[in-house]
Structure 1
């Protein structure tokens, strides 16, 4: 996932009340990090493979995962956002709900007032 797409996806998830952030995992490697309960985090699409999948981590240890979502290699941003929002992380092997839970109160955009400075004025 490229940096700007990761930013747009995390922004839209935050609009739905999902605690999402851009994950910077390496040089030129980006994804979406979703903060979960009990100190867990889901790291979405950080490995540059065509399909959409996630690893669920707690304190740097793998505690679960989301298998590659069938057909996700051709998902647009709206479908990626919907897939992340519909994921149920309660089991070690996460599953997709048939419908997304209702949106919660929106979270503020990451970076706030200084976002353009933090991004080096590179937003598209």
Structure 2
């Protein structure tokens, strides 16, 4: 059964490293893992998720107006997705969080979203707030 997972931690806690390790584990077993990344996050380069320890992987970028349900559906049609990863999930919108829930419920694709809980003033990011509500598992 597919689930929506939300992994949150502070900055520099290793979230991207954990995501890259998990995606690698899927790929090592011959499974298809897709990584999504907000297009405004270009720290590792456009469409690249990277960690401070040097791990990196290509990602599909999305913008504020991208429908992640439609995006995942199209990518799944090209090649069956075994797991969808979202790095820097706090850069997504609240609507994106709901679209990820639809990916799980309707497309039966597990989603693992990684991001910050709140900004430097302690305010929840909109996507993070929705992920806290929607996620089947929170860590």
Question: Normalising to structure 2: TM-score of the pair?
Answer: 0.29
Structure having the higher helix fraction is: 2
Task: Name whichever structure is richer in strand by fraction.
Answer: 1
State TM-score, norm by structure 1: 0.32
